[in-house]
Amino acid sequence: MNSKGKYLPILLFSCVALGIVIGGMVNFPKRTLSKQNARKVKIEQLIDFINEEYVDDVNSDSIVDMTVNTILANLDPHSVYLLPSEQSSEAEIMKGDFVGIGVNFYMYNDTVTVVKPLENGPAAKAGILSGDRILYADNSKLFGRKLPTDSLYSKLKGKEGSKVLLTIFRKSTNKKLKLTIEREVVPIKSVDTYLMFNKTSGYIKINRFAENTYDEFRVGLEQLKKQGMTTLVIDLRDNGGGYLEKAVEVIDELLKDKELIVFTKNRKGIIDKTFATEGGIFEKGKVFVLIDENSASASEILAGAIQDNDRGIVVGRRSFGKGLVQEEQRLSDGSTLRLTIARYYTPSGRCIQKAFNGNMGDYIKDHEARINKGELYYKDSMFIDKSLTYKTKKGRLVYGGGGIIPAVFIPLPIMNPSPLMTRLYFSEAISAYVFDDLQGNRTPWRTINELNAYVFTDLEITRLLRYVGTVYGINTTAEEKVANGAELKRRLKEEYARQLWERDGIYKIQNGESKEINEAIKILLR
């Protein structure tokens, strides 16, 4: 996948932060909190004293929250405390669904505009079309206001079975319409896409390990096998983890009976091993796993299991390095504590947790340090702790000490984006141009393959640049047009694919240019 510049790894890190926080979670039986002891009494006395004697009024709840966060910050970087208000959106993501109307939208100028309604979703069944502008949700005005995303979601989400009256403007007919939509459970996919990129090689992209991940993966795996797949590429790039047990279920379809998947060890030295079972769907074909610096936790478990069992080849860049397992404890006020209760180890015995010196700032900056050292760009700059050596099933050397090290290194392209491309990227001008263009014709290409084969002309790029100059004030010179022509054509094609076919489309387009996938294909042909 092409880079948007040196700043891209930092942007991607922020996008997968949520996945990393929740990565490696397991569902354990609830346990009651320990009985009062001297340390607990000490904390209670401190809070009571502040409440009663402090010179100003204080919020005792906020003091407790700060106390808990301070304690956890000194333990490890992945033990976290979540207030009730912080849990709902995360719970939806990991559950794999939410209740709403089922539309993909963005703010076009100052109006909520439907990019694409979910197929067979409540909005589609009610008659919502791509390009519709949502003006009102019941009596709430949604246009001409800079509403934050959370506020917009609250207007469109609701209880299952509840109804919302939408007032929309349809540009194709130049008319206002009122449509009543009954909210339904809307799935959130954790498997972005599955597809064949040649006659024998299949591709599955997993964006996180949620409750529905295994079911989605199994469907994709079975469909690809029916199409003749003998080689599987699993894409875990930018996958920040999720539920450990779901990653295990995925791996179980790839490993033979009784092969070790992962084991955990707690402070008491108790080891819990997890083995593959018989009857996996894809135990014999070739396997490639794509990882990068944002692949964490459950993603690393999968990559490590494949690598240590000599089941396949790991391709990409050194993974994040999260080898800690959290247990979730719901507290009496509805808040939640996620406490690290064990470390996990790959089959060879590797703990891939990267170093933590007690300073969260340094821990986070490790990602930036990788960039500065050139690790994402040069194989020789990749950190390898050769004092922590382990052997795979067939005796190959692998290394611990921080992340999964791929067998085949693929550098992030070194690209200094031009001022033009940077301005276009942050303005969303290309997205707006494509959206406007599709208003007149929603089917310029009948299939993804047609679009993939299409070659954009210089005249089309001229029209694009004329649009962004008029609408966004981003003016370009003839020299900039020539210098950025190829990148503009690539970005334009990706955006058409995204708006017409969503994730399936964009992955189909991007995979033809993916260095990781192309490298996997080269290995296949050797």
Q: Indicate which residues carry an active-site annotation.
A: 297, 308, 322
Tokens of 214: 């295994």
Q: Strand pairing partners for 410?
A: none
Q: CB atoms < 10 A from the CB of 110, how many?
A: 11
The residue among 396, 217, 383, 437 whose CA lies nearest residue 314 is 396
**What distance in Å separates the CA atoms of residue 333 and residue 85, rounded to the nearest whole number?**
11
- Are β-strands 313-316 and 336-345 bridged in parallel, bridged antiparallel, or unpaired? unpaired
Phi, psi of 512 (to 5 degrees): -65, -20
User: What count of residues does the chain have?
Assistant: 526
**Contacts for 165 with CB less than 8 Å, ≥ 6 apart:** 136, 137, 138, 178, 179, 180
Chain-centroid distance, C-alpha 80: 20
HSE-CB for 52 with a 13 A CA cutoff: 6
The residue among 348, 264, 355, 246 whose CA lies nearest residue 306 is 348
Angle at CA 208, nearest 5°, toward 204 and 212?
85
Tokens of 433: 């141009």
Tokens of 349: 């015995």
Tokens of 174: 């130049």
**Cβ distance 301 to 262 under 8 Å?**
yes
> What's the Rg (C-alpha) of the chain?
25
**What distance in Å separates the CA atoms of residue 115 and residue 126, rounded to the nearest whole number?**
16
